[in-house]
């Protein structure tokens, strides 16, 4: 099964990568981050919006309960009190209206950050996102843009059932003109959100709510962890950004490449520690634009590729990843590309952990791909 790997070694590798990210920020001259503090992902997201609202008067936050209440997950807590009701305001329960207003604000020069309370309820906004936000730059020949960043919690693992657990990222990666970002740590969440807000094109920023308060290793029957001891829980208090389209090499390895994003990054890391497989783990960070160069280099080195995501299998983003790996790395592959995903069924409340791609199914897939 390859070289024995411990969880401590995996965390050390992630710690080293976090240091590398900070060094890259400093080298680009964009580091005004200042001191670091321990944050969970909710606090990091709040800090990103706070930093950007202080830097740019055109940044506005809007959505259901984001103002007075501070959001259902408290991601916007304190922002209305600090910046006023004209820059942080509550909206009616109309997702189509929220995004439609945001598109208009963007066309007039503002940088809206609308929140869709749960990704499950983003579908009424599809018309505005696809027909207006994604097309505005092209239909106006660049005269107008839609610099909006749509935040939305997504994914399962919190017993949200069919209506609060969906992972619709594959829909948006299919729509040209929209960028799709999914962080896996507080450090990444803040840096990526700042980069998304500064971007002049519409961005979907999906937040894995299962890891809002701490990394989740897939073992639902073990005590929950928080971000206080995780290296990526140390977040600079000021401004910094992580470029969109740049994946994070979480762990180097030789036996197999594991592609994941969001919560699944931590589940994969735990499986590697449990099984002792010398896997290379890549956190995609952004699905569009995709860092295909990092993926290609890794798969050509290992000769094997395992893709893990929580969304349903058919036409999920893993299918696109599999096709890209097949096209670019065909003569380097030692085994067929494998996928571990959610099932082609609505998220079952009573069978949450059977649906959720956990250590058992990922471990079985690793055994299969290394056996071939």
Spans of the chain, pLDDT less than 70: 1-32, 372
pLDDT at residue 9 in the model: 53
Q: What is the pLDDT of residue 281?
A: 98
Reported pTM: 0.91
Q: How many CA atoms lie within 13 A of 105 on its CB side?
A: 23
Give residue-wise pLDDT tens across range 6-50: 555 545 555 455 444 444 443 333 456 779 999 999 999 999 999
Residue 345 structure tokens: 């069924």
Domains present along the chain, CATH in parentheses: 29-236 (3.40.50.970), 248-371 (3.40.50.920)
Q: Which candidate in 164, 230, 266, 309 is catalytic?
A: 164
Helices (H), the chain: 7-28, 41-55, 79-83, 95-107, 126-127, 136-139, 169-173, 186-198, 263-275, 292-302, 317-329, 352-355, 359-371
Catalytic residue at 164? yes
Q: What pLDDT is stored for residue 23 in this prediction?
A: 43
- What span, in angstroms and rounded, lies between the C-alpha atoms of 119 and 155? 8
Residue 142: what pLDDT? 94
| Whole-number pLDDT of residue 32 | 67
Residue 298 phi/psi, 5-degree rounding, is: -70, -45
Give pLDDT, residue 97: 97
């Amino acid at each position: 099964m390859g070289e024995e790997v411990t969880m401590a070694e995996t965390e050390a590798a992630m710690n080293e990568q976090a240091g590398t990210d900070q060094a890259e920020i400093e080298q680009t001259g964009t580091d005004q981050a200042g001191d670091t503090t321990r944050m969970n992902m909710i606090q990091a997201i709040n800090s990103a919006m706070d930093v950007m609202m202080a830097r740019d008067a055109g940044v506005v936050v809007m959505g259901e309960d984001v103002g007075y209440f501070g959001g259902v997950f408290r991601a916007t807590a304190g922002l209305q009190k600090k910046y006023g009701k004209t820059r942080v305001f509550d909206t009616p329960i109309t997702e189509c209206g929220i995004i439609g207003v945001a598109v208009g604000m963007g066309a007039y020069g503002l940088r809206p950050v609308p929140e869709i309370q749960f990704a499950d309820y983003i579908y009424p906004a599809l018309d505005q996102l696809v027909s207006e936000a994604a097309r505005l730059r092209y239909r106006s020949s660049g005269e107008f843009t839609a610099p909006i960043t749509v935040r939305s919690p997504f994914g399962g693992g919190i017993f949200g059932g069919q209506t609060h657990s969906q992972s619709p990222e594959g829909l948006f990666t299919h729509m040209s003109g929209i960028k799709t970002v999914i962080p896996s740590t507080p450090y990444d969440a803040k840096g990526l959100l700042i980069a998304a807000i500064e971007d002049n094109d519409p961005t979907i920023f999906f937040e894995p709510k299962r890891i809002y308060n701490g990394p989740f290793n897939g073992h639902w029957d073990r005590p929950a962890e928080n971000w206080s001891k995780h290296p990526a829980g140390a977040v600079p208090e000021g401004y910094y950004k992580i470029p969109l389209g740049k994946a994070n090499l979480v762990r180097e390895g030789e036996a197999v490449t594991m592609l994941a994003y969001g919560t699944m990054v931590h589940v994969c890391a735990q499986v590697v520690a449990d099984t002792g497989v010398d896997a290379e783990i890549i956190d995609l960070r952004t699905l569009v634009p995709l860092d295909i160069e990092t993926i290609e280099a890794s798969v050509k080195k290992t000769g094997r590729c395992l893709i893990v995501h929580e969304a349903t299998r058919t036409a999920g983003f893993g299918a696109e990843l599999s096709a890209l790996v097949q096209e670019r790395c065909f003569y380097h592959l030692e085994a067929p590309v494998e996928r571990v995903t959610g099932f082609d069924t609505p998220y079952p409340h009573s069978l949450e952990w059977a649906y959720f791609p956990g250590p058992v199914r990922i471990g079985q897939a690793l055994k299969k791909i290394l056996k071939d």
